[in-house]
Amino acid sequence: MTTPLSISPPAPEKTSTKPASKAEDKSYQSVNPYDGKVFKTFEELTDPQLETAIKTAAKCFDTWRDTSFAERATIVAKAAAIMRENADDFAEPVTLEMGKLIDQSLGEVALSADILDYYAENAERFLATETLEPGSGEAEIVSNPFGVLFGVQPWNFPYYQLARFVAPNLMAGNVVMVKHAGCVPQCAIAFEKLWKDAGAPAGTYTNLLISHDQVNRVIDDPRIKGVALTGSVEAGKIVAARAGENLKKSTMELGGSDAFIVLDDADLEKTVKWAVGAKMNNTGQSCVAAKRFIVVESLADRFLEYFQAALMDLRPGDPMDKATTLGPISTEGALVKLLDQVEQAIAKGAELVMGGKRIDRPGSFMEPTILTNIQPDNPAFREEFFGPVALFFRVKDEDEAIALANDSDFGLGGSVFTKDVARGKRVANRIDTGMVFINHPTGTKADLPFGGIKNSGYGRELASLGIQEFVNKKLIRTTSIDDPA
């Protein structure tokens, strides 16, 4: 079996129980949020090293584009097999670098492998030549790869985010370069090593440990043909603008403030169980985590009572221990930001139902938190809370629930809970987001398209749509030389 890079034991002189300083945050650093200890620090690439990497990727594309779907699929499927065979080795650095509960890290590894297999099996069908009927002669649409693509990816799902960008694009004949988040460098390195172990040619997949200034240099480089980012709205505006200046296609997935709508005929007991998972998966650090719980008045009191009790049962601890049910926030900086958001929300009139504080223990832990009585002039009404903070709203009926769900700058996902599926579909059709799930939290699978609208970005990943974003849909028209124009 091939074993990926795993977390290295920290050297004594580099280990610290203190959070990384602001200066240290600028480098690529493995810091365990469970105890604040620094595992390892990595140097950024020099400009000459970056130039070599881009040159290698561009050269690789010249040959990779001409490989068959079968040849590409062999490598992509091999990468999936390696992930499954070494699931524990891949999962461990996720938990140690960003604090995900170990069972959830293992689930992420499995999901990532599923995505690789999905595109290995389906890419050729998705990109099959389309024959047209123009009336005379012949016409067809073929799918040609763009070239070298650049992805900027976040820390919260260190492999899944990569897999959903990389798998469709490698199978389409593109090659990819990725700047991963600074707090998960060992996950980033392990994923790059995965492709080498799977037999991918040098330059097919390149991990870039680069600075923000170097990100601009990569986007500006004429050898880069497309840009994808998953991150904050602020980062999206910067990267999309830079790509736009260079007239380069881009896709943006920029987070969300998903509504979790509970209608008056919902199965309350089952709905609350889903609500806990929807809020607390990955300690609430998910773009599609339920963030706004919108409950009709007739069920509001009971829902809040049961929901609060379930959150109070969660127990903080070592995320490597399968008995732990509440993991840490990914970084000290992220925790401080969340605490400040809660403090500002309360200062502007929100009511604290539970939590709201740092847990008194080592590491970056926060109490599960519920805020209510949040008025439209409260900053919390518009913000995304990326952690274990739930915003609770009471509404009188279905129409008011829909109006409140749509009163958001974001439009990624959402969910509707009702015993009447037809009613659920009607409500879903009126919600302004890229995805709506009925009787289930917003989720992700290889064969379901993923993406949003409004400040949640543009473009789609996964399913058949995900492989179409960075291909040239070229028309080839054949007519007789004697045909009239």
The residues that are catalytic are 253, 287
Give the count of alpha carbons within 13 A of 49, CB side only: 11
Longest CA–CA span in the chain (Å) reads 83
Task: Please enumerate in sequence order all residues whose Cβ is within 8 A of that of 391, keeping only pairs 6 or more positions apart, or say none.
Answer: 291, 292, 293, 370, 371, 372, 374, 380, 385
Residue 147 tokens read as 């070239």
Task: Please enumerate in sequence order all residues whose Cβ is within 8 A of that of 482, keeping only pairs 6 or more positions apart, or say none.
Answer: none
Judging by beta carbons within 10 Å of its beta carbon (0-12, 13-18, 19+), is residue 350 exposed, middle or buried?
buried
In whole angstroms, what is the distance from residue 252 CA to residue 233 CA? Answer: 9
In whole angstroms, what is the distance from residue 350 CA to residue 24 CA? Answer: 35
Q: Which long-range contacts (CB under 8 A, 24 or more apart) does 217-223 make?
A: 217/47, 217/50, 218/50, 218/54, 218/150, 218/177, 218/179, 219/150, 219/243, 219/246, 219/248, 220/246, 221/54, 223/54, 223/55, 223/57, 223/58, 223/147, 223/148
CA geometry: angle 121, 124, 125, nearest 5 deg: 90
Judging by beta carbons within 10 Å of its beta carbon (0-12, 13-18, 19+), is residue 377 exposed, middle or buried?
exposed
Residue 302: how many other CB atoms lie within 10 Å: 13
Please, which residues bridge with residue 176 across strands?
149, 205
Total residue length of the chain: 485
In whole angstroms, what is the distance from residue 92 CA to residue 378 CA? Answer: 40
**Phi, psi for 117 (deg, rounded to 5):** -65, -40
